[in-house]
Structure 1
Amino acid sequence: MNKFLPIICFGLILFTSCTTLRSTKDNQYIYLQKEGRENKKWKLVWEDDFNGAAIDSSKWSKIPSGGSDWNKHMSSNSDCYDQSGGKLYLRGIKNPDTLKDPRPYLTGGVYTKGKFAFQYGKIEIYAKLECAQGAWPAIWMLAEKDKYGKYPKNGEIDIMEHLNMDNIIYQTTHSYYTLDLKEKTNPPHSGTAKLNIAEYNKFGLEWYPDKLIFTLNEKETFRYPRKPDVDSSQWPYDQPFYVMIDQQLGGAWVGKINPDQLPVQMIIDWVKVYQ
């Protein structure tokens, strides 16, 4: 036996123990953080700086339309998207062709579903939000694998939601515990944070096995802890989630759309995920 082999093996073991592991060969896009890794220095595992000429289809898909307030205007129309100058532009617009698509408004959004998901770590998105009546830009995450069943049993993590011309953002968790059991104060499931809407801001989340820490410009703004003495549905955040970024329009929460203030857009400079 080569006398150096034990040293080499030890080095390999030490190296792998400090890195982030993918889940399986069948799910190479899912990043699972090893237990105890949260106590070490963050390591960049995934990013997009939008420097290409087009949206990277290996990382993102355009969000399809649906029947909810948030996605009823989602569209693949190219007028809702632009990637140039190292930035991604997601737009809410008046529909230029209602004969082809009868909806009065169209919106752009992207997600990493089926292409990138992670469990535990830190995500930061550097972006600028434009304002308009009825504008509802959001950065959020949903479960990749539906571990506990259909929505809302797998939870929802809203890193940032902005309404109209507000100078605050909302940072929220939703789950069976908060929506069906109505447990919104034990612990509080939502917070707000003030921002300068005219500037780029860094929207973030630090996700641990026992807590979610929401940040704005690298400062903690809201914390959602895991509680051991409540219904287990309070913490569905022990599974991989994918990332969603979208410029929504209208709905019961944000209110009516003012078409004279369109188009409106969210401008994303970069997205980074660490574990």
Structure 2
Amino acid sequence: MRKLLTIFCISISLLNCSQAPNQETGWQLNFLDEFDTFNEDNWQDQMLWVNNEDQCYLPNGEHGTREVSNGTLKVRVIDLRDKQPCDNMSKTGEKKPDTQYVAGRIASKNKKEFIKGKWTARLRVKNSGQAGMFPAWWLLGALNNEPPVQEANETVCWPMEGSGELDIFEHHSDGGPDHFAARVIKSLGHCDGGDWQAEMAVEKADLDQFNDFSVEWLNNDIIFRLNEKEIYRLEDQGDEYPEPFFAILNFAKINDSPMTMNWEMEVDWVKHEVWAD
């Protein structure tokens, strides 16, 4: 696994890299998780039922739904073959029906939340394009009112300001293998009113190999990058998303197609940076 600390911490104590003084302009690291362990100071499991998805999210990596090993995080969808009860709840209090599919979803909610800056993850998805696949790396506004609600100010409905959404990487199986979407969800000005298509780019990538997927706020633009190459820019829209955001890594199953194998998204690292003038 590439050790990013060596890039940012030359001649600086590795024990306190994030506090190192900014000696140059540009992006400066303020958060990095290289998944040597599952760090509960950075992440929590998030169990909820959204978008009528077919899977049940499980805590603590049950049934192998999330695992940290050999320096990477694995987030999986597992077919248990037999339907099991699921305690995931929707934001309106509905209980997820029994399902044979279980999955992993982790969030930095109330752990690592940042206003603007630059988020990047290095990840891959094996055997992309299978029917029903929906792995994602994305951001959600920290005032969002979906489970778990842990702070008094988590009252804002999606996708209103405070609960905005930026999708840095989504692989939707309907488009076939080796592609992904990057987007912001355009708010239509009311609860649950979001346009998924208006501000979206679809790009090709070899998803079986590790790639770096990022989004940044820079000069009031929002810029999406693949391996540091700009793929999509929303000009003068940065201030439309001023709230702190937390990060989510999850693997969903979005239709009732049978699985021929377990699905896995493997994540090498996640980082956040801030711009220093």
TM-score interval, normalised by the smaller of the two chains: 0.7 to 0.9
Distance 1:170 1:183 in 2: 10
Relative to its length, the structure with more strand (as a share) is 2
Q: Secondary structure at the match of 2:56?
A: coil
For residues 181 and 152 of structure 1, do their structure 2 counterparts lie closer, same or farther at Cα, with a shift above 3 Å needed?
A: closer
Residue aligning to 2:117: 121
Change (3 A) 1:99 1:264: closer
Choose the corresponding residue for 1:201, options 198, 211, 214.
211
Q: 2:223 aligns with which of 206, 213, 219?
A: 213
Greater share of residues in helix: 1
Give the number of aligned pairs. 222
Matches within 5 A, 1:109-258: 109-130=105-126, 131=128, 132-146=130-144, 149-154=156-161, 155-164=164-173, 165-177=176-188, 180=193, 188-208=198-218, 210-226=220-236, 236-251=240-255, 256-258=256-258
TM-score, normalised by the number of residues in structure 1? 0.72
| TM-score normalized with structure 2 length | 0.72
Whether the 8 Å contact between 1:177 and 1:183 is mirrored in structure 2 is no
Instruction: Note the residue ranges of structure 2 that are not aligned, 5 or more in a row.
Output: 1-21, 87-97, 145-152
Is 1:57 the counterpart of 2:40? The answer is yes
Give me the whole-angstrom Cα distance separating, in 2, the residues matched to 1:217 and 1:269.
14
Give the share of equivalent positions with the same residue, in percent: 23
CA–CA separation in structure 1 for the residues paired with 2:273 and 2:53? 28
Aligned to 2:73: 88
CA displacement 1:174-231 (0-9 Å, x = unmatched): 13238848696xxx5111111012211111111236221001111000112235xxxx
Question: 1:83, CA displacement in angstroms?
Answer: 0.7
Aligned 8 A contact 1:135 1:257 in 2: no
Any conservation in 2 of the 1:48–1:270 contact (CA below 8 Å)?
A: yes
Q: Give the secondary-structure state (helix, strand or coil) at the position aligned to 1:127.
A: strand
Inter-CA distance 149–175: structure 2 relative to 1 (3 Å threshold):
farther
Measure the CA separation in 2 of the matches of 1:112 and 1:139: 12
- Which residue number in structure 1 is paired with residue 83 of structure 2? 98
Structure 1 stretches lacking a partner, 5+ long: 1-36, 228-233
Retained in 1: the 8 A contact 2:186–2:194?
Answer: no
Q: Distance in 1 between matches of 2:182 and 2:257?
A: 22
